[in-house]
């Protein structure tokens, strides 16, 4: 069966273009740095984080429930700065993104809180190559719910078979395929470039 030509690329951010923003490893690093009770923090985080990533809770409210619910010897600005410092670029993946930007319609499709998404967009200049951000905090839906893929496709005006989802998590890749998108599980930039070229995606 012949695949339709690709018209648009949808990129995950955490684990592809950048490190994960506030995933397990990042949380562990910051919790250790500030000497928090890791078990208590994790239980509080688990209960509230879906609301944060769906845009129904501010970062300030999240921190009030998970960190600043008891007296601590540091301020909120210092903790937020430590959270933001966990974001580091995958330079090779960002270079590939920039390389493709002039030739392809490209969008973000990711799960992230509003404040962290804004920080990462600004710090790593993602608004240039990516035309729009179909992020969980803006859409009120999160991967791997198939509905977020369908909504992103509708908003971009792209048929599923004409779109490629790039994500590091297999479950998200499978969910993209379930709605008819082509999808690549990201391992590294070289592997991604090779698989995109197989689909006819070149600068």
Q: Which of 192, 174, 202, 163 is nearest to 17 (CA)?
A: 192
What tens digit of pLDDT does each residue of 173-187 get? 999 999 999 999 999
First to last CA, the chain: 25
Residue corresponding to tokens 């690709």: 6
Task: Give the CATH number for residue 68.
Answer: 1.10.150.240
Shared domain for 109 and 137, answered yes or no, is yes
Shared domain for 97 and 72, answered yes or no, is no
pTM of the model: 0.96
Shared domain for 121 and 157, answered yes or no, is yes
State whether residue 139 is helix, strand or coil: helix
Task: Give the CATH number for residue 108.
Answer: 3.40.50.1000
**Domain range for residue 72?**
24-85
Shared domain for 97 and 164, answered yes or no, is yes
Shared domain for 66 and 96, answered yes or no, is no
- Read off the tokens for 20: 């994960």
* Average pLDDT of every residue of the chain: 97
Q: How many CB atoms lie within 10 A of CB 11?
A: 24
The answer to whether 44 and 27 have CB atoms below 8 angstroms apart is no
């Amino acid at each position: 069966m012949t695949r339709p030509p690709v018209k648009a690329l949808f990129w995950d951010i955490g684990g592809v273009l950048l490190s994960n923003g506030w995933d397990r490893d990042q949380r562990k690093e910051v919790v250790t740095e500030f000497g928090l009770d890791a078990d208590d923090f994790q239980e509080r985080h688990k209960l509230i984080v879906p609301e944060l990533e769906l845009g129904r809770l501010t970062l300030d409210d999240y921190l009030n429930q998970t960190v600043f619910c008891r007296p601590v010897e540091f301020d909120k600005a210092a903790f937020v700065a430590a959270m933001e410092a966990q974001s580091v670029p995958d330079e090779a993946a960002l270079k590939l993104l920039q390389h493709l930007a002039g030739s392809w319609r490209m969008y973000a499709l990711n799960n992230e809180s509003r404040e962290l998404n804004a920080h990462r967009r600004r710090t790593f200049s993602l608004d240039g190559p990516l035309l729009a951000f179909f992020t969980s905090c803006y859409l009120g839906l999160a991967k791997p719910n198939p509905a977020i893929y369908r909504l992103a496709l509708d908003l971009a005006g792209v048929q599923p078979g004409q779109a490629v989802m790039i994500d590091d998590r297999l479950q998200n890749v499978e969910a993209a395929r379930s709605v008819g998108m082509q999808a690549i599980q990201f391992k590294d930039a070289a592997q991604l470039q090779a698989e995109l070229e197989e689909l006819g995606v070149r600068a």
